[in-house]
Amino acid sequence: EKQQHRHLVIDVPSLDPVLSKPRHRHKHKHNKSNDGRFPRKKTQPSTSTAGRGLLLTWSSMRDKENDDGKGLLRPVTRRTTRSFCGSESFTGLNDESRRGGLPEGIDANTKLGPVARQEIRSAEDLEQVRGRRKYGEEYLRSALSLIGKLATDITRRLDYTYYNLLEKVAALDATLFSFQELLGSTSSLFADFKRETSGLDQEIRKQIGELQDFEPQLIRMKSLEDRMKMGRTKAQALNDRLENMRTEIECWEKKEKDYQDRMNRRFRVFWTFVAAGVLAALLAVAVQH
């Protein structure tokens, strides 16, 4: 009969996006609350048939043992298959990784089957049955140890994922707090702006009400315009009078000039006659002597 290997398939979400991020090294603290996530049932199989479904081994377990605690977040080399729900599930690994997780002296290619009840006819048959049973127990013990390590690793990864989520939640909380502060400052600024604009609107309306549709200003402007027209009329009248006075002054100057010319001619004639009389008198006196 052909016996097939049955592998234990554990469908877990892919943790590579979380594990691939750079993290600061810090000491992992054991959390007591994590002990209840994966309860370990301490059950001992009654027969060797219970080990047929526990043949899965993990190549990452041996690598993690050599890391000395430094590779807690190192990506694990594995083959994954995507299920119909979109999640990645761990499948069977190669034979070398299976051999790496088993104790020495046990071949992973050895097909284990149930120990059939048979008649023990000799000591050799008894030794053969005991050897097969011991071999199966060692194989089951190693498989249970690997399952325990796998559960511890999954718990550790869940812890780191939980811490990462806590950091993201804290950052989100800080962002929300900043947005709340910004909202408060914006609300206060809007209230101040509304109060100032309402005060300015009231002041402008008050000034417009005091202007009374600009009627006093219009009346004053009308009166000023009338006064300007009257002043222009007076200025024109004064200008006309000034022109008349200039004309009269020019006439007076002309008359004065004519008078001066006449007087000068008269004075010249008079002095001419006087000079002639004096000369005549002098000539007469001279003739007499």
User: Averaged over 173-193, what is the pLDDT?
Assistant: 95
User: How big is the CA angle at 47 (ends 41 and 49), to the nearest 5 degrees?
Assistant: 90
Of the three residues 140, 166, 187, the one that is the final residue of a domain is 187
Kindly report, residue by residue over 80-128, the tens digit of the pLDDT.
444 433 334 343 334 434 444 444 444 445 444 454 555 667 888 888 8
Asked whether residue 159 falls in the same domain as residue 83, the answer is yes
56 and 162 both lie in a single domain: yes
Integer Cα distance of 38 and 198 in angstroms: 66
Over residues 139-148, the pLDDT tens digits come to: 999 999 999 9
Q: What is the mean pLDDT of the chain?
A: 71
Tokens linked to 271: 């002095």
Q: At what angle do helices 59-66 and 123-211 cross, to 10 degrees?
A: 80
Give the best-scoring range by mean pLDDT among 92-106, 208-222, 275-289.
275-289
79 falls within a domain: yes
Greatest mean pLDDT among 37-46, 114-123, 268-277: 268-277
- The domain in which residue 267 lies consists of 223-288
pLDDT: which is higher, 245 or 51:
245
Verify that 61 and 179 share a domain, yes or no. Answer: yes
Is pTM beyond 0.75? Reply is no
| pLDDT above 70 (res 207) | yes
User: Which of 166, 187, 208 represents a domain boundary (last residue)?
Assistant: 187
Structural domains in the chain (count) = 2
